[in-house]
Structure 1
């Protein structure tokens, strides 16, 4: 059975709640993902910040050429997380219910990676190509 751990990628630069918006947006853009988890000093996921969350602040702040926002002020505080042991089929079904496209992968209360809809699609497509049993 394929699991989230088989398809996830590590997060090299998670966000912190005290990070300025400009720096957080740079990390998100560099990552190539639609958003990134926000962690505390122990790598516990405390939030999630997406492009969607940032855009209104970027519009306003760039118009006024002034930004005082930090991640903790605008992040979602109810991030969805998954275990690396979860079946990718189960996660794909959850994502099909109009849930977010990006999940933080957490093991023992610490961020270990990120999984996206496109990562799941890639893994399931490879499985189909090679006729692997996924569930």
Structure 2
């Protein structure tokens, strides 16, 4: 997991969330209340999505911003007026510190999400992102290769188990 975590409050303007994401090179931020409790998560998608009155948009909001001058003219006000609490996702999926990496990978895949807040009680202590899974993969493979030098039969069993793990198969793509 990535830790320490950059967080933001629900009362902050979305322009501040955008700046934090850019400055820290992250695509989402846990949203915490004044007591430090997790209340939501805000992502790049949340910032780029237009909240509508129920009518389906003609095209994605981000595309309108790039192609229609009238859409772009209203953005400075929108980024100052809307707060993180207005756009954040509140239907959260979280994991605890002792959650196995395999389970975290399954949750990311099955829920089609990009990040999982790691909590201790109601406080965020880290975030597991898909990139964290990719970073863990070479270490796991390296450990298996190192073990093969000591006990080939045991290593074969470990590699077979690694290959069976769903998240590992997904990172390899189609054969």
Which of the five TM-score ranges fits, normalised by the shorter chain? 0.7 to 0.9
- Give the 4+ runs in structure 1 shifted more than 6 A: 132-135
Give the match for residue 114 of structure 1: 127
- The 5 Å alignment of 1:63-102 reads 63-64=73-74, 65-67=76-78, 68-102=81-115
Cα distance, 1:80 vs. partner? 1.6
Structure 1 gap ranges (5+): 1-6
- C-alpha contact (below 8 Å) 1:24/1:71 kept by paired residues: yes
Deviations 1:91-135 (Å, cap 9, x if unpaired)? 112222252111111002111111101101211321112217689
Structure in which a larger fraction of residues adopt helix: 2
Partners of 1:23 and 1:49 lie apart in 2 by 11
Q: Distance in 1 between matches of 2:71 and 2:116?
A: 28
Distance 1:94 1:49 in 2: 18
TM-score, L = length of structure 1: 0.82
Aligned residue pair count: 128
**RMSD across aligned positions (CA):** 2.3
Q: Distance in 1 between the 2:24 and 2:95 partners?
A: 20
What residue in structure 1 maps to residue 42 of structure 2?
A: 49
SS in 2 for 1:16: coil
TM-score, scaled relative to structure 2: 0.65
Q: Per the alignment, do residues 62 and 17 of structure 1 end up closer, same or farther by CA in structure 2, a change over 3 Å counting? A: farther
Give 1:62 shift.
Answer: 4.3
Unpaired stretches in structure 2, ≥5 consecutive residues: 51-61, 148-157, 166-175
Q: Quick check: which has more Rg, 1 or 2? A: 2
